Structure 1
């Protein structure tokens, strides 16, 4: 399978690269100085600034790919750039993927992303919540075979190979009950979830919301696919 990871130098993307060794994987990066890091992770670097590229330019970039993974982000701090990257650039890549004939698109979102996210407008997280919910909905409305991977709080802990799936979908409430603490999820486990989803078309049309837990990843995804 030919896979393009947008945001190829992110922590999750660099952990994902070695897990996709049986595929032809391109990591899209803006900074050419990062190319050697991608190559070390088994990714073929492609230098392109998706924030400024037109839909047509992105279509050319994604031509011939079977799957696109969006793992990019503005990094917070500047609401204007958050909307430019996490919403506008993301949605352009979806439109471009459709035009390029890409069959599947995997979005890395966050636990609780939805139109009614509940984040107050004066909260620093508001722009990100708005941008991600808009991008996720654009993907759902597209003609792509989509899957949204939505982890909870990320950590740099060692992977456990296990997760806990929370309620999934726009009408669900994945947040903790009052007073409940959700276990953070290791970035390496997020990468493992993405790698597993790559090989599972039965998860098309699913939003997978998860945190750290005790259920082996493959078993947890089986339950999601079965609608459990």
Structure 2
């Protein structure tokens, strides 16, 4: 059994991940900025620690990771039009998580990104979407260069439909949708599968059972 720190621990994917990790015998450590989330997440089986992604520094991240064996970065700046939060959460939060893991001596790091963020953006791309894509792209590049034992999962469009347990997972896939539950299940399998280290995969719904998809990708 291992303790898995989840940055952005109250997010929708993170909450599915908490449940999945508990089922797989791990202890999820949910890092959240509001005390009011504690009861809800503890009821799901998580240990809850407070961490303000935007206001606290990498040393605070390292302290929040104490006793953990791996970090999952699952935070996001939200769907609103706040360009600055794409930089402070999606990018800045990832950079501080990477540095915090290094300070804490944690080698394993799994990051939730987004499909297609390395592709060039058209000149007429809307500013908020441009900021989001650039933040995810730069965060992934920083993780690949970090020296950590990284895995990057880049889901397609996220839905709240029930998980299917069936996905398509590869370095590049055709754009599509995937349930948040299935994303969480892929993250959990990757954490237990050393062959996923050093891999960057795009993820959409498909026909392959998740464990088989990770093993074959």
TM-score range, shorter chain: over 0.9
Q: Gaps (5+ residues) in structure 2?
A: none
Instruction: Work out whether 1:193 is the aligned partner of 2:194.
Output: no
Question: What is aligned with 1:128?
Answer: 132
Query: Aligned match of 1:140 in 139, 144, 157?
Result: 144
Q: 2:195 touches 2:215 (CA, 8 Å); kept in 1?
A: no
- Measured after TM superposition, the shift of residue 134 of structure 1 is 0.5
Q: Which digits, 9 at most, give the CA deviation of each residue in 1:96-123, with x for residues without a partner?
A: 1011100100000011122x44254641
1:76-225 alignment to 2 at 5 Å?
76=79, 77-114=81-118, 116-118=119-121, 120=123, 122-123=125-126, 124-166=128-170, 168=171, 174=173, 176=174, 182-224=175-217
RMSD across aligned positions (CA): 1.5
**What is residue 50 of structure 1 aligned with on the other side?**
53
Query: Structure 1: which 5+ residue stretches go unaligned?
Result: 177-181
Alpha-carbon offset, residue 137 of structure 1: 0.3
Kindly indicate whether the alpha-carbon contact (under 8 Å) linking 1:161 and 1:217 is maintained by their aligned counterparts in 2: yes
The alignment of Structure 1 onto Structure 2 pairs a total of residues equal to: 212
Counterpart for residue 63 of structure 1: 66
- Structure 2 CA distance for aligned equivalents of residues 183 and 205 of structure 1: 24
Whether the 8 Å contact between 2:27 and 2:45 is mirrored in structure 1 is no
Describe the SS at the equivalent of 1:159: coil
- 1:197 Cα deviation (Å)? 0.7
Question: In 2 relative to 1, CA 161–59 (structure 1 residues): closer, same or farther, beyond 3 Å?
Answer: same
Partner of 1:38: 41
Q: Distance in 2 between matches of 1:133 and 1:164?
A: 21
SS in 1 for 2:31: strand
| CA-to-aligned-CA distance 1:67-94 (integer Å, 9 cap, x gap) | 0000111114111121011111210110
SS in 1 for 2:116: coil
Aligned-pair distance for 1:8?
A: 0.6
Moved more, 53-62 or 8-17: 53-62
Task: Please give the per-residue CA displacement for 1:155-191, whole angstroms capped at 9, x wherever unaligned.
Answer: 111111000124x1xxxx54x4xxxxx4411111111
Distance of 2:177 and 2:58 partners within structure 1 = 36
Residue 154 of structure 1, CA deviation: 0.7
Is the deviation greater in 66-75 or in 52-61?
52-61
TM-score using structure 1 length: 0.88
Alpha carbons 1:119, 1:125 under 8 Å: kept: no
The residue that corresponds to 2:17 in the other structure is 16
